[in-house]
């Protein structure tokens, strides 16, 4: 009888090519033995740079292309990946892919509303749903959803983003209760102002006056909490939203 | 595959993998109660069926399944 090979464990990070996603990939490579599955949508070069950084800290991984908005494509790509990695199991899912299309609600175009919801909220479904059955069968898993302080307190000019992230927070809490019995935890991480491409256009000097810590956060600071939640150490934390915002909201 | 074989295969993995006592297995036995399944446990049943019969069950398939007989009939329909 053929001996059953030990499963190779992967952590999937959506939107892993840049910003917080990249920092999460590198931190997971440093702290855990997971192979990192780095998802990107359009910027392959940036995804490869993340992979190089993962490798430079002694980790290993690969890149996978899909737009989290496209449910059919996500499933197709993940099925194809599983077909080529029969011994692999995705044990950690970090739903990080997100976009902003800010503007006053009264001027907001319907596509600016739906694009943001489609990425942050529907993207969570499109990626997590095809993978959850395996987590349930394996009776172990970690799902971490990147949300935002906007999803908790709401941010003027970001009605769409606040709605998407608020919805994702509620989904986090509901799914956590559904799967807790099978040792699968589902948590959300809610960053405030973090220095990335997404916040590049913001006036940091002006905005930091409202932050008790008096500075923007670094992507790596967010990555540390994600890495903890992805580890076995966090086993009794589920359905939780962890703020990481320099004291701007609690 | 004959109905008899389907029933035997199902009974075999119920005993082997789901730790159901052999004497509890009867066509009119309630599937959920006999197996002490909660709703999430159906995922294990889906996997066992796929491994044994090569068919994938979905959530709706289980809606009308009450007894073991219903379950045998469902699998027979699925593989025919």
As a three-state string, the secondary structure of B15-78 is HHCCCCCHHHCCCCCEHHHHCCCCHHHHHHHHHHHHHHHCCCCCHHHHCCCCEHHHHHHHHHHH
Determine whether A161 is an active site residue.
yes
Give the distance from residue B49's alpha carbon to the nearest chain A alpha carbon, in angstroms: 13
- Judged by phi (left if over 0) then psi (alpha if -120 to 50, else beta), residue A241 lies in beta
Q: Cβ(A237)–Cβ(A38) under 8 Å? A: no
CA-CA-CA-CA torsion for B9, B19, B72, A178, nearest 10 degrees? -130
In whole angstroms, give the CA distance from residue B21 to residue B4. 20
Between B49 and B41, name the one with better pLDDT. B49
CATH of the domain at B14: 1.10.1200.10
Q: Cβ(A20)–Cβ(A219) under 8 Å? A: yes
Mean pLDDT of the B36-65 span: 87
Rounded to the nearest 5°, which phi and psi values hold at A21? -60, -45
* Contact assignment for B40 to A136 by CB distance below 8 Å: yes
Q: Which of A10, A40, A161, A249 is catalytic?
A: A161
> What does the pLDDT read at residue A3?
52
> What does the pLDDT read at residue A21?
97
Strand partners, A92: A11, A142
The string of pLDDT tens digits covering residues A131-153 is: 999 999 999 999 999 999 999 99
Query: Does the structure's ipTM exceed the value 0.90?
Result: no
Which tokens is A199 given?
């916040």
> What does the pLDDT read at residue A5?
66
Q: Cβ(A18)–Cβ(A43) under 8 Å? A: yes
pTM equals: 0.91
* Contact assignment for A178 to B40 by CB distance below 8 Å: yes
Q: Which residue ranges in chain A fall short of pLDDT 50?
A: 1-2
Q: Cβ(A226)–Cβ(A27) under 8 Å? A: yes
Domains of chain A: 8-244 (3.40.50.720)
The string of pLDDT tens digits covering residues A17-47 is: 999 999 999 999 999 999 999 999 999 999 9
Boundaries of domain holding B38: 3-79
In whole angstroms, give the CA distance from residue B7 to residue B73. 9
* Contact assignment for A181 to B46 by CB distance below 8 Å: no
Q: Cβ(A96)–Cβ(A146) under 8 Å? A: yes
Domain total of chain B: 1
In whole angstroms, give the CA distance from residue A165 to residue A143. 15
């Amino acid at each position: 009888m053929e001996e059953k090979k030990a499963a190779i464990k992967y952590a999937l990070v959506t939107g892993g090519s840049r910003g917080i996603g990249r920092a999460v990939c590198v931190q997971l490579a440093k702290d855990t033995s997971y192979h990192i599955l780095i998802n990107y949508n359009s910027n392959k070069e940036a995804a490869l740079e993340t992979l190089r950084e993962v490798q430079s800290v002694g980790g290993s991984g690969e890149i996978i292309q899909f737009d989290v908005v496209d449910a059919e494509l996500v499933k197709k790509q993940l099925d194809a990946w599983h077909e080529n990695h029969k011994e692999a199991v995705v044990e950690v899912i970090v739903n990080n892919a997100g976009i902003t299309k800010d503007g006053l609600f009264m001027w907001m175009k319907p596509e600016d509303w739906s694009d943001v919801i489609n990425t942050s909220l529907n993207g969570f479904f499109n990626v997590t749903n095809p993978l959850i059955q395996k987590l349930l069968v394996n009776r172990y898993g970690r799902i971490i959803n990147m949300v935002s302080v906007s999803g908790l307190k709401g941010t003027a000019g970001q009605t769409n983003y606040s709605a998407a992230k608020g919805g994702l927070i509620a989904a986090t809490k509901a799914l956590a209760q559904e799967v807790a019995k099978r040792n699968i935890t589902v948590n959300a991480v809610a960053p405030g102002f973090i220095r990335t491409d997404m916040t590049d256009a913001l006036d940091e000097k002006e905005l930091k006056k409202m932050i008790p810590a008096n500075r923007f956060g670094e992507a790596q600071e967010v990555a540390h909490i994600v890495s903890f939640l992805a580890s076995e150490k966090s086993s009794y934390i589920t359905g939780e939203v962890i703020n990481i915002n320099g004291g701007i909201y609690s | 595959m004959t109905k008899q074989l389907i029933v035997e295969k199902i009974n075999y993995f119920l005993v082997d993998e789901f730790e159901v006592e052999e004497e509890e297995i009867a066509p009119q036995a309630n599937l959920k109660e006999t197996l002490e399944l909660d709703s999430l446990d159906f995922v294990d049943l889906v996997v066992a069926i796929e491994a044994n019969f090569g068919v994938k069950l979905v959530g709706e398939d289980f809606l009308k399944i009450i007894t073991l007989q219903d379950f045998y009939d469902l699998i027979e329909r699925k593989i025919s």
